[in-house]
Amino acid sequence: MEELIKEKAKTVEKLKLEIGKVIVGQDYMVDRILVGIFTGGHVLLEGVPGLAKSLTVSTISKVLGTEFNRIQFTPDLLPADVIGTRMYNQPTGEFITKKGPIFSNIILADEINRAPAKVQSALLEAMQEKQVTIGEESYQLDRPFLVLATQNPLEQEGTYPLPEAQQDRFMLKLNVDYPKKDEEKIIIDRLTGEDRIEDTKLEALVSKKDIFEIRELVRKVYVSDELKNYVLDIVFKSREKSDYIECGASPRASINLILASKAIAFLNGRNYVIPDDVKEIAYDVLRHRLILTYEAEAEDLKVEDIIENILGSVNIP
């Protein structure tokens, strides 16, 4: 088991090198997207425009050798534009199903919060059940199936907040930040030089079969009962009555925190989870699941501050 994980972890390092041919810096974003891919968890990426969120998702899909579709969310988008619709075929007199772009392996839901709630909700069944209903029939989606959504900060004009039920279906929410100065210099050189970045040849290093094998390995990563209780203590602490938390994390948080911690351990070449794995990924699992009170907002407290307080108040095994 340990040797197998180390061998697959080397493959992941090759993946990162291949992704690095196009994406400069943003190691945090790449690592967390790989956590989602290797656990089957959807990922929400938030950041201002121009931080290579969409480019990172499309690049990763190429090196994974999976089918990829990009859906640009706009205020006039309809649910049928995402999942598909039933159309009348006049020559035959029958209705036929036209499948939407959701039928793919990796879906980039670009600027998901620029579409109204009814369109965002069209993804709910697909994200949870891995199927969609068109008319009266349900259709299974291709496996692996993963939604990688980008959104702009809510303060920006023309954005709609995601419903809590939809946010909860994302395993991770990432806050994507600006690149460092030396990284941005490399980006400038790549995008203004003679070699066009779109001409970069990327090699598909893994297959769908490899992804399923890695997922099985990740699930076999050992988590002690003490660490399971540690995760439960963190989640239950978020549900305690507080001046700053209106609504705590759901049971999905406990499940996803365990799974994501296993993936972090796997990426580090280990077949067991340590407390640092849980602490490292806790912010990404919890930040979109905690609803803060007006008191927290009045005191200018961010959700990361609340998570830090929760982690600081729970005993580490």
Q: What is the CATH number of the domain that holds 29?
A: 3.40.50.300
d(CA 125, CA 254): 21
Domain containing 170 equals 1-77+105-220
Same domain? For 148 and 235 the reply is no
Q: What is the CATH number of the domain that holds 228?
A: 1.10.8.80
| Nearest alpha-carbon partner for 262 in 211, 225, 307, 217 | 217
pLDDT at 297 over 90: no
DSSP 8-state class, residue 130? S
What is residue 125's predicted lDDT score, i.e. its pLDDT? 82
d(CA 21, CA 66): 18
What is residue 157's predicted lDDT score, i.e. its pLDDT? 61
Residue indicated by tokens 């407390």: 275
Domain contains 96: no
Strand-strand pairing, 68-72 and 106-110: parallel
Q: What are phi and psi of 301, to 5 degrees?
A: -90, 135
pLDDT in tens, 87-128: 877 787 788 888 889 999 999 998 888 887 778 777 888 888
What is residue 36's predicted lDDT score, i.e. its pLDDT? 94
Domain contains 87: no
Contact assessment for residue 101 and residue 145, using Cβ atoms and an 8 Å cutoff: no
Listed residues 220, 240, 260: the one ending a domain = 220
Domain contains 121: yes
Domain contains 317: yes
d(CA 146, CA 143): 9
What is residue 155's predicted lDDT score, i.e. its pLDDT? 57
d(CA 244, CA 265): 32
Domain contains 93: no
Residue-wise DSSP of 140-200: EPPSS-EEEEEE--TTSTT--PPPHHHHHTEEEEEE--PPPHHHHHHHHHHHHSSS-GGG-
What is residue 266's predicted lDDT score, i.e. its pLDDT? 92
Same domain? For 160 and 138 the reply is yes
d(CA 94, CA 83): 20
| pTM given for the model | 0.89
Same domain? For 279 and 313 the reply is yes
pLDDT band at 196 (very low <50, low <70, confident <90, very high): low
Same domain? For 54 and 167 the reply is yes
pLDDT in tens, 141-178: 888 999 999 887 765 566 777 878 888 889 999 988 88
Domain contains 89: no
Same domain? For 5 and 71 the reply is yes
Structure tokens at 232: 């439960």
Average pLDDT over residues 50-64: 85
3 state DSSP class of 12: helix
pLDDT at 43 over 90: yes
Domain contains 95: no
Same domain? For 68 and 174 the reply is yes
Contact assessment for residue 215 and residue 39, using Cβ atoms and an 8 Å cutoff: yes
Same domain? For 231 and 145 the reply is no
Same domain? For 267 and 206 the reply is no
Listed residues 179, 198, 220: the one ending a domain = 220
Give me the chain's average pLDDT, please.
87
Same domain? For 142 and 31 the reply is yes
Same domain? For 200 and 72 the reply is yes
Same domain? For 204 and 269 the reply is no
What is residue 195's predicted lDDT score, i.e. its pLDDT? 65
Domain contains 251: yes
pLDDT in tens, 205-263: 888 888 999 999 999 999 999 999 999 999 999 998 888 888 889 899 999 999 999 99
Number of domains in the chain: 2
Same domain? For 133 and 11 the reply is yes
Listed residues 162, 189, 220: the one ending a domain = 220
